[in-house]
Amino acid sequence: MMKNTVTKKKLAFIKKLAQKKYRKLHNAFVASGAKTVLALLTSSAYSPSYIIATPAFTKQYPEIASQYENIWHIAPAAQYKAADTLSTNPTLLAVFACKTLAVPYLTTRDRMLILDNIGNPGNLGTLVRVADWYGIKDIIASPTTVDCYNPKVIQASMGAIAHVNVHYTPLLPYLQHAKAGQIPIIGGVLRGANLYQTTLPQYGGLLIGNEAIGIDKSLRSYIQYPVTIPAVGQAESLNAAIAGAILCDHWQRVI
């Protein structure tokens, strides 16, 4: 097997991909960690352009190393740690091309998450993981939502980013279109119907709002099913990803 070496210039390039402007410029993102990178490699949706692995990892997975021989680079963790902003223990890192697909419209045959202005990358990554758990393939996100190729989003999704598409589009026209097509929209709100006493529609969209201010006022009239998770204790709110997961779980049981 060829022994490709990692150049300093390439490491500087990889490090820059932690910033959104460089991801846009190069249409590329970095994934790190064996679980995440292997999920992306085995998904047909993502093509790697550059891989760095530790000698130990390469030895452990010789088939993968030879499959990607041309772009496989071996380097000890210490050598590329500076380019890997999140891993405490780097083993495998890869650069992939970002994916941009046409925004799918909601139909009465599928379920999508619709995210309004989710700001925390950990929350978005967790919601991607939750969507994947519940078999939701597409997430529609407002342009104000954090970039799904942010390294912290990729990390929190635990590989689920390989199976779930995140589409960025303005939500107002998107919801207007859904309304015209009579597609039901569920929304997690503060003073809605008791979730435990609501029969959710089988299909449609589930709208989750910003961590601090919830769903934008301009979008609220498009929610046909405004629901609230009843609080028993003193907490004022639930984390957006937690609320999204509980709503997905209830939704799942409708089928």
Report the interface residues with a copy of itself, using CB under 8 A.
122, 126, 129-137, 156, 158-160, 163, 196, 229-239, 241-242, 245-246, 249, 252-253
CA 182 centroid distance within chain = 27
We find the least distance from the C-beta atom of residue 180 to a copy of itself, in angstroms, to be: 29
Closer to a copy of itself at the Cβ: 50 or 125?
A: 125
Closer to a copy of itself at the Cβ: 12 or 231?
A: 231
Closest CA to 114 of 177, 59, 28: 177
We find the least distance from the C-beta atom of residue 133 to a copy of itself, in angstroms, to be: 4
Please list the helix, strand and coil fractions of the chain in percent, rounded to the nearest 5, in that order.
Answer: 40, 20, 40
We find the least distance from the C-beta atom of residue 134 to a copy of itself, in angstroms, to be: 5
Strand boundaries in 104-176, DSSP class E = 111-115, 138-141, 165-168
We find the least distance from the C-beta atom of residue 26 to a copy of itself, in angstroms, to be: 28
Closer to a copy of itself at the Cβ: 18 or 238?
A: 238
Closest CA to 2 of 69, 92, 94: 69
d(CA 209, CA 244): 9
Closer to a copy of itself at the Cβ: 11 or 208?
A: 208
